[in-house]
Chain A
Amino acid sequence: MDKQSTLDVRTMPLIMEGITLSFPGQTVIEDFSMLLPWGEKQVLAGASGSGKSSILRVILGFIVPDKGNIQIDGHAVDGKSIWHLRKKIGYVPQEPQLGTGKVQDILNHPFTYKANAGMSLDLQQQSQLLEQFSLPVSILEKEITDLSGGEKQRIAIIAALLLKRPIYLFDEPTSALDKENAAVLADLLMRSDMTALVATHDARLAGIGDCITLPGRGGNGGGH
């Protein structure tokens, strides 16, 4: 951390250094480092299996890397700090599994968590986002399991944005979106002052910020 320790962490909400992650018989990420300044968007690109999703899951503590350090907002990620640091992050998973219940309940539920105490669902923003993503208000009364893949993905994006986090991690957020809705998300990301790391191989999001291309599986750069 010698090099990074000289960086001003106030301008770097996310620092990853020397991350190596392997599963039995396979190295998924090898010696990966990156810096994400406040207010900037970066695109994590790479072929399927190159470890894009794994990097996002490592940041959130869902996978513990073999080696390397992660800092979020100046705090090292470990088993203790992660519970506090997750409050700074909005996460949109790939092919989101949102549980069961009505859409409105799914959107309300995060505000019942202790960590989000003091926050409440912004109904005005909810209406705006539904409209922006071409979803009718009536969808709020539908069961989440009855929605299409594209609708679920938009609800997952809306749920994350309603939490108003300073940092966002998007995992293939346009995989089930049509051209119009992908453009809405790209526009929203570009106009917003949020800090975001977007794992995608969708060219429609290429313009939102700097691009980090991961080598193919095996980490030897030969998998493109």
Chain B
Amino acid sequence: MTEAVIHPWGVAAGYLMTLIPLGVIYWYKLPMMGQALLAMVRMTIQLVFVGLYLQVVFRLNNFWLNLLWLVVMVAVADGSILKGCGLKIRVMATEIFIALLVGVAIPLIVFVGVVLSCPNVLDARLMIPIAGMILGNCMRADIVGIRTFYQSLAGSQRILEYRLGQSASLSEATRPFVIQALQQAMTPTVATMATFGLVSLPGMMTGVILGGNDPMTAIQYQIAIMLSIFTGTSITVTLGIRLSARRAFNAYGIPDKSIFA
């Protein structure tokens, strides 16, 4: 297997390729030229910064620094999810943080500790990319699931009241809304798993192949990461809804509208 080599001048040449999308924007006078240029600059600066920072993190491979990195990743995802769901950060931040931390930690421990048989679950070289992939995918699912839960509740308060009026507990009354939210959140992950290898070569597999490994090694990594994402998604969405719901209802079981940003 030949490892693909990448050089800074090669990447610079890649920027030339963007003359095509920028040309399309210019030709059709799309009102996004500034936005597109800024996005490219931001991406470059952010990734250069992360690359430099990760070099240090990988070299030191310090337990506390790695843990701090994980906590920062979870905190950033926490804020993005709440923003994406239109919920107040100061009300729900702790609940979603716990949901994400648990939902990432469990598949991470299994992936690194069991699948890769590495005793140090927080080894920077393994933990950072794997936790990042799990978290990134969970984040999209969480936004869909948590937003669906609160939007369907807001639109169907009379159904909730009807069930409460029949003496349902809060968890009994909200169960259909939880089911709907979980379905919406987990369907894309299930659908993606079903088409892997047929429609596209997934990201991790591509990375492992580009890194010079054979396809059979690549698919094992891919299977493990997909199972981790599937597990992480189910945990983060379920916990995210269950924990945030504790703050989302008043003592009478009625949604508290002040949770919305």
Q: Report which A residues bind B (CB closer than 8 A).
A: 57, 60-64, 78-80, 82-83, 86-87, 89, 91, 93, 96-100, 109-110, 112-116, 156, 159-160, 163
Contact = CB atoms under 8 A, between A and B. Distances in A.
Contacts of A63: 254
Contacts of B172: 112-114
A97 B254 contact: no
Contacts, number: 72
B166 A97 contact: no
Interface residues of B, number: 19
B164 interface: yes
A98 B159 contact: yes
A98 B223 CA distance: 43
Nearest to A80: B251
B128 to A, nearest CB: 44
B167 A64 contact: no
A60 B159 contact: no
B165 A64 contact: no
Interface of B: 156, 158-159, 161-169, 172, 176, 250-254
A110 B167 contact: yes
List the 7 closest pairs (A to B, CB-CB), nearest first.
Answer: A79-B251, A91-B165, A61-B252, A115-B167, A110-B166, A97-B158, A97-B159
Contacts of B253: 61, 83
Given A97-B156, A98-B162, A113 B250 contact: no
Nearest to B173: A113
B23 to A, nearest CB: 50
Contact of A83 (B161, B162, B169): B169
A115 B161 contact: no
A61 B165 CA distance: 9
A86 B156 CA distance: 20
A114 B163 CA distance: 12
Contact of A113 (B166, B176, B251, B254): B166
B166 A62 contact: no
A139 B245 CA distance: 36
A115 B168 contact: yes
